[in-house]
Structures are given as structure tokens and as C-alpha cells.
Amino acid sequence: MRRAADPERRPLERADVAQFLERATRALERHRELLDRLDAALGDGDHGENMATGFRAVIDALPAMPERDLGALLRSIGQVLVASVGGASGPLYGTAFIEAGFALGAAERLDTNRVADALEAGVRGLARRGRCAVGDKTILDALEPAARAFRAAVNDGAAEDGALVRAAWAARAGMRSTTPLVARRGLALRLGERSRGHQDPGATSCFLLVRAMIPSRRAAGAAEPAIPARNEAPGHDTGEPAS
């Protein structure tokens, strides 16, 4: 039997969203050059810069965003991303956050089922906006498996941290699955068969964002869960973010 004070069972609040945004921004900054290199093979070569710029803009705007209404907060985040992330990624990620916000309504605290609802709404919104499906070599190849894994973990009785770890592993597998695919959406579509063999930068940034959802709860006596990932060797681009 779990203890009533188990921190993994604590509902999520605005502070948790703010902490996620800070972790996500640091991760995107840290892997900006990797994301740009991946994008150079398939697009304009600026995905890392665009994502880092967009999330910095979200952090700057956060103090003026809603304090208690988490649905409105996510919608505000999405609107900033639409306005500040260049290329197709801004509308795609922005729509995912906006649709997740609509799914939450005016909730002030979230249990794992509501988080699963938000993730699934984000998947539907992104797929609709991008007119894409799993296998098209896009962000969705990481986001949809992550949402599915999170829901399955919740249905299995997992607490938030465990469900997020499973979601991050699924996002990582989805990210890696894009390498052998031929792009069917976005700028990479023009490359045809030449897009095969390159990891999708959007799926990679999505993995970073899902991994950033895993909270650090050291103060509550719980170690921060880690998702092992192969480090980049000097002079060798593995196409995979470091842990």
C-alpha cells in the first residue's frame, strides 16, 4: 500500500508546469546545435535555434500568464509558441499546447488521468494541424507513442513519475524510428528517398520535451528518474540527445 503522502501521487499545479518549462528550455538550449544539425539534413537547419527562442519567449511571458487556470495557461503557452517559433514547428507545437489546454478546461490541479487527457488532445491537435500520421517522419512519431504509453501506464496504476518515464522511453523509441523513414510531410518531403537515414529533428525535440516532463523530487526523498541515452562522441553526431 502506498503512503498517503507519496509525492508521486500529488496533483500537478501551476508550479509544476513552470518547472517543466524551465527544464525544457534548458534541454533545448543544451541540444540546440544537435537539433540544427539534424534539421540541416532535412530542412532549413534552424530547428534548434527556433525551439530555444520559442521556449525562452514562453519563460519571459510566463509571469503574465494565468495563475490558477491550467487550461488557460497551456493555451497561453501555445499562443506564444505559435508566434515565436519559426517554421512549421511553432504552429504544430503551439496547437498541441492549445488543444491540451482546451481539454483541461479551467482545472487548477491535475491527476494522472487529466495529464493523459491533455497529452492525447495534444496529439490530436498536432496531427490535425500538420495533416500527419505516425510514420510520416514528424513530431507525431515521438508524441503519439508517448501519449499512448502514458495512458497505458496510468491504466496499469502507475503514479505520475513512473508514467512519465514510460512515456519518455516511448518518445525515445519513436524518435529513433524516424531514421529509416521517408518523409511524407514538411520541407523534408522534397527530398524523397534522400530523407531516409536521417533522424527527424521535430521528433528529437519532442523527445526532449517529454523527457523534461519528468520532475526532480529530491527534496521529497525521491531521486530524479533518468532516461539513459547515448552521449555524442567527439566528432561523431549520433543524432541522439545526451542524458
What mean pLDDT is predicted for residues 159-183? 93
Grid coordinates standing for 132?
Answer: 500527419
User: DSSP per residue over 131-163, as a string?
Assistant: T--TTSSSTHHHHHHHHHHHHHHHHTT--HHHH
* Domain around 23: 13-216
Asked if pLDDT for residue 225 goes beyond 80, the answer is no
- State residue 2's pLDDT score: 39
Asked whether residue 222 is domain-assigned, the answer is no
Question: 75-132 pLDDT, tens per residue?
Answer: 999 999 999 998 889 999 999 999 999 999 999 999 999 999 999 999 999 999 999 9
88, 105, 136, 138, 209 from 188: Cα distances, Å: 12, 36, 10, 10, 22
Report whether pLDDT(238) > 60: no
In-domain check, residue 227: no
Q: What b/e readout covers 99-125, taking b as 16+ CB neighbours within 10 angstroms? A: bbbbbbeebbebebebbbbbbbbbbbb
pLDDT at 221 over 60: no
CA atoms within a 13 Å half-sphere pointing along the CA-CB vector of 241: 34
- The answer to whether residue 21 is domain-embedded is yes
CATH code of residue 18 = 1.25.40.340
* 55-64, 68-77, 171-180, 211-220: least confidently modelled range: 211-220
Least confident of 9-18, 70-79, 124-133, 170-179: 9-18
pLDDT at 101: 97
In a domain, 98, yes or no: yes
* Domain membership flag for residue 133: yes
What percentage of the chain reaches a pLDDT higher than 70?
84
**Which residues, listed in sequence order, are joined to residue 192 by a DSSP beta bridge?**
none
- Residue 221 in domain: no
Evaluate whether residue 224 is within a structural domain.
no
228 within a domain of the structure (yes/no): no
Cα dihedral 92/232/46/133 (nearest 10) = -30
| Rounded distance between C-alpha atoms, residue 63 and residue 171, angstroms | 30
The domain total for the chain is 1
